[in-house]
Every structure is written in C-alpha cells, then in structure tokens.
Amino acid sequence: MLTLKILKYHSKAIEVNAVVFEYYDSQLYNDFARDFNKYAEEHNLDITFKVTCFSNNNSTVHSTGDSITIHSLLEKKTKKYDIFFYTVTHVPDFDNHLMDLKGHIPQDIIDLYNSRVFNKTAYIKGRLVGFPINMSCSILYSNVELLKKYNRTVPETWDEFFDTAKYILTKERNLNNTRLVALGGIFNDDEKGSNSLYEMLFSYRKSIELDYPDITSEEAKKSFEMLKKIKDELSSDEEFQRGESYLYENMYTGNAIFIKYYFIGPIHPSYKVGIIPGAKKGISASNLGGPSVGINIHSDEDKKMAAVEVLKFILSKEVQKKSIIKHHAFSGIKELYSDEELCSQFPYCELFKNVQLFTRYQFLRPDYVKFSTQFRHYAYEYLYGNKSVTEVLNKINDMTRIYYFTISTEDSAVGLVYFIMLTIFSIMILSNLFFCTSEKYKLMKVLILLIILTLCFLEWNLEETLYDIRLLTSAIYTNEILAILIAILNLIAKNKHNTYMLHDQKNIEESKILSYLKYRNHLYTSTTIKSEEQSNGKCCSENIPSSSSSSIKNRITKLINYHYQKSLDSVVNANKFSDMNIPSSYISSSKG
C-alpha cells in the first residue's frame, strides 16, 4: 500500500527500464512488459515498463556477457536500468548493487518460491537480492527407439546406465553402426567440464536431502570411478573432450544412445527427456542455471518502488503459469507443476517436478574461478591421466581444507593441540610480564618470537590483516636490531650509562610486542570463532585433512598455500565444501 501511495503522487507515469541478455530472442521479457503495462493501465498505476533485450541477433554478447556488462554498469552506479535480468550463477559478482527485496515483496510471494536452492541463490549475505524467472536444468535425453529395439528401459541408476549403453553399443557395433555414441556429454577443459564433474559427484550423495558427499568419501570415489569406466569402456578421451559442437551434431541426428545436456525442449523424435541417473534409485542431480531478476539499488527511490510493483506482477502465480504454457519456462514455483490445467497443456510437468537441482560454488567462494580450474585439473589427472582416484581426491581435499584448524578431533588432533598451545603461551606471556626472571625470560622470548613469526608468515597476504602483520614484523625486527646494538655496546662497554638506557628502552619495546601478541591472539581467535559460528554454528573452523591421508610434504604445502591466501572470507568459506551445492549454464536465455 505504501508503494501505491507514493506512486499516486506523481503527475506523470514513471518509466521502469529493464535489461536482459539472451542467446536468442525468446519474447518472454517482451511479453512481461506488454502484460504489465496492460495490468498497470487497468489498475490505474502510473508506471510504464520497458525491456531492452540483447541477444546474438542484435549484439555480440555471449556466455559471460551479462556478467561483465551488468557488473560494469552497476559498478558505475548507473541509473539507466532499474531492473536487471541476470544469470543466477553470476550474482555473487554484483549482489551488493542489488536492492534487498525483503519487506518489499509480500511474504506470500516469497513463500511460493521457497526451496533449498532458492535460499542458496536468492539470499546473498542475508539479503534477498533476486528471484528466479526461467531456470535451466541439466537432464538426460534417452534414445527411446534404440531402447525399444533392444527391450531396455530408461536407466534410473548409473549401473543401469552403463549396462544398457554397453549392451546396445555392442549390438549396434556388430551391425557395423560405428558412428553410434554411448553418451553425449561435455567433459572438456572449461567451466562446462567442471559442471559435469560436480553433477556426477552430487548424484552419488547418500540421500536426496543431503548435499555433496565428502570429497574423500567412498561415494566420491565411486562417482569418479564410474565416470572413468564410462569413458574407458564406452567412449574415448577424444570423444569425451570434443565439446558442444559434437554434442549438437549427435543430438539433432539421433546418433547417441544417451545425451546429458540442458533442457531445451524437443530436439529429435527419437529422444525422450528424463532426470539424470544417480548412485541409486531416487537420487539424481541437475545443474541449476537460467535468469533471475533484481532491482538496481542505485535507482531513484520512486523508480525502485515502481520496480517493486513490476516484480510483484511478474512473480505472481498467474503470470508464471502463463510463461510456462507459452514459453516452456521453468518457474521457481514448484507447486505449479501439480496444476492439472497447466499440465494438460505442458508436457514436462513430471520432469520439472522431479529434477534435483544443485548450485555451484560461486555463492561461497570468492576465488571460484581459480577453484573450479584447479578442481577440474586434478579430476582430469585421473579421468584422462595416470593418477589414482585416491591421490586425486586427496589433492582436491587438500585444496579445499588447508585453511583452518578445528578443536574437534574428528579429522585430526592438530587443531586441538594448536589451541592448547596458544592458551598456554598466552598464560605464560602474562606470567612473564609479572613473575619471570630475566634468564628464564630469554628462553621464553625465543619461543614467543618463533610463534609470532610463524603466524606472521601464515597471515602475510591476508588483506584483512595486511598492515597489522607488516607493522608487527617491523616491530620485531626493530626490537632485534636494538638487541644486537645493545650486545655490541655491552662488549665495548665504553659508556655503561648509555647502555643501561638502551637496555631499559629495549625492555619497553619488548613489553609492547608482548601486549600486541596478546591482542593478535585474541583477534585471531575471536575472528575464527565468529566466522565459524556464522557459517555453521560450531566453534573454531576449517578442518584440515586427516593425518592418515596427508604426508609431511603435503602439510608443508598446505602452510605455504595458506601463506598465499589473500582473503579471510575465502579461507572461512572453504570450510563449506562438503555442505554445498552448485549452478550451471542456461542454453535458452543466459548460459552460465
């Protein structure tokens, strides 16, 4: 009501401008604009909604174009566009420039979209920044003509998939059909290859409610082994790496038994769409992608309130239902796929109702691009190389778990020992300030300095403590230079008075350093606990790999890798590797 009252005070219509980047002109967004403007006229809303669409037909924008362009516009605090339709996987790049929609979009509309995936992708840092408009999902296309020919059914598990594909492929080879492909998929060296790996891993979780299996678990091992088995026995390195053009060729000629790709509607009369198999029946996995919508936080207040009215209209059940029927859009309102009237006109209700979506790592990893590249590199050392699956999974595990210790002994006792040592040395520092003799203090000082310098080395590149660490290191070196000078003066002993003066000054400097160490220890501990409590409610933080799977060399490598970390956020967020989910590209409107 407040929004409507504000709008009524304007003497002329407020123009709300939106921008969207598509692969082709779907007309979905133009229909949104036309239908809203008709609705606004009928309800006396002085608002005009206009959409600017960029597609391959009128621009050179491609797969990452919306991310780069939208990010650039928002960084400049543009007011040209009030609403942005963006690929959901790109939102962590510019979420701080999008308006928090909590308190503006009615709760009954928010409840329609509520789901695990929605909560992971729409809420960024506690802010509701967007809603899904036309989700994309990866599915399995099955060649029903070949399945019928050999009396086989659509596989529900990966074991069934392998047996069915091998049987049909062998029979067709005996008939001299050498061009037939068992699986059309994407496992090349780009982001789509990473998506395929994540998807395989997610499909091996133990139950539908869980996220990824732990990367060193038996489930993760089996997922990688099945993928290699499919490649080695049903395909080849070359075929697996040929990419989308080869997949399209097989997709539109019916030359593959199975194709794993994003839903793009009917592609060939031989294929039937279905969910991707899993480790066992009832388990599946589907990459999430597609466009979401948010409001520019830099727009004028009246335009933001008008944009809210536009979103309320677009997100309504009636408009979403219409977009499903007319454009085969994948709405975020799951209950619509149980609507008998809708499903009588839309043949994919069962598919969209049963896909098990998951999200990619952008939502928790600021270093996602580097992470994804390294994850893929290690996985391919097993898939296409000679490394063992255990070695590769341990490498991935080390990459994701090197950052923090925990006082829990579930993985390792190192964190608990480290915590106890910090506590003991903190007590010793305070004791030394008041009770210790100078001779005892010398040994203690050496131990303290070693600990300080070790911590300085580990945190040297963290942006959050960059100046603290450098000032502390400078103070230590200054203190030691003074100590060397005093030693020299003691040897020369030319002026005992000056020597004592310098010795007193040295003690003052040492007291400053010890006080600072106490402060740093408190800051480090409280930051760690606070970050972890925010993440999952547990004290302390990241688990390091268990000693049974890590050599001394690996531990040294972890410490060195920690030394090069630049952000405390990336350190803390790495803790969530085994609790996450993961999104992908969108073929029809915004591939991600």
**Is the pLDDT reported for residue 529 higher than 90?**
no
pLDDT digits (tens, 9 = 90+) for 512-525: 555 555 555 544 44
Q: What pLDDT, on the 0 to 100 scale, is given for residue 369?
A: 80
* CATH class as words, domain 2-135+290-315: alpha beta
Amino acid 166: pLDDT: 97
pTM beyond 0.75: the answer is no
> Do residues 377 and 370 touch, judged by C-beta distance below 8 A?
no
Give pLDDT, residue 171. Answer: 96
Distance from the first to the final alpha carbon of the chain: 37
Of 180-184, 279-283, 451-455, the one with minimum mean pLDDT is 451-455
pLDDT tier, 5 (very low <50, low <70, confident <90, very high otherwise): very low
DSSP string, 390-444: HHHHHHHHHHHH-S---S-TTT-SHHHHHHHHHHHHHHHHHHHHHT--HHHHHHH
pLDDT at position 368, please?
78
Could you give the CA distance from residue 289 to residue 266 in angstroms, rounded to a whole number?
Answer: 19
User: Do 287 and 581 touch, CB atoms closer than 8 A?
Assistant: no
d(CA 127, CA 98): 9
Kindly report, as residue ranges, where domains of CATH 3.40.190.10 are found in the chain: 2-135+290-315, 137-284
Both tokens of 445, joined, read 């000082």
Average pLDDT score over residue span 187-202: 92
Which residues are bridge partners to 260 per DSSP?
A: 140
Per-residue CA distances from 271 to 171, 355, 503 (Å): 19, 18, 86
Top-level class of domain 137-284: alpha beta
> By the 8 A CB rule, do 585 and 23 touch?
no
pLDDT score, position 10: 47
Q: Is the pLDDT of residue 511 over 60?
A: no
CB 271 within 8 A of CB 254: yes
Euclidean distance between CA atoms 592 and 586, whole angstroms: 6
Please tell me which residue, 88 or 475, carries the higher pLDDT value.
Answer: 88
Distance of alpha carbon 171 from alpha carbon 488, whole angstroms: 89
User: Among 11-20, 137-146, 231-240, which stretch is predicted with the lowest mean pLDDT?
Assistant: 11-20
